[in-house]
């Protein structure tokens, strides 16, 4: 009787560090700041930061293109809302002056 020894099965190749998911930090920050500026009414600095980070993400992180575009769009919408509100407030200023002048003529309600 002869005995046969089983042949060892080859091991699976070890995973290397190159299989790690790509970094999308700038794109994610851009989207978070853009959504936060819409949700919380943060008007000027936060949407500008979202737009800048989104542009930087488009240039340096090709894998986060959709996220970066989302951050740019939400930041731009929030910034446009700020611009519309500022223009409306400036357009309303003359009416405040007229209303203040009625108080000086004795028309106190």
Does the model's pTM come out above 0.85? Answer: no
Q: Could you write out the three-class secondary structure of the chain?
A: CCCCCCCCCCCCCCCCHHHCCCCCHHHHHHHHHHHHHHHHCCCCHHHHHHHHHHHHHHHHCHHHHHHHHHHHHHHHHHHHHHHHHHHHHHHHHHHHHHHHHHHHCCCCC
The pLDDT assigned to 94 comes to 80
Q: pLDDT per residue over 8-66, tens digit each? A: 776 666 555 556 677 789 999 999 999 999 988 777 899 999 999 999 999 998 888 99
Per-residue pLDDT at 95 exceeds 80: no
Per-residue pLDDT at 105 exceeds 70: no
């Amino acid at each position: 009787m002869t005995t046969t020894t089983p042949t060892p099965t080859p091991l699976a190749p070890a995973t290397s560090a190159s299989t790690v998911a790509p970094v999308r930090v700038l794109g994610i920050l851009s989207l978070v700041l853009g959504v936060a500026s819409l949700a919380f009414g943060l008007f000027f600095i936060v949407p500008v930061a979202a737009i800048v980070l989104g542009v930087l993400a488009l240039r340096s992180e090709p894998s986060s293109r959709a996220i970066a575009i989302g951050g740019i769009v939400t930041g731009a919408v929030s910034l446009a809302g700020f611009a519309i509100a500022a223009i409306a407030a400036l357009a309303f200023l003359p009416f405040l002056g007229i209303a203040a002048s009625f108080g000086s003529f004795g028309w106190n309600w």
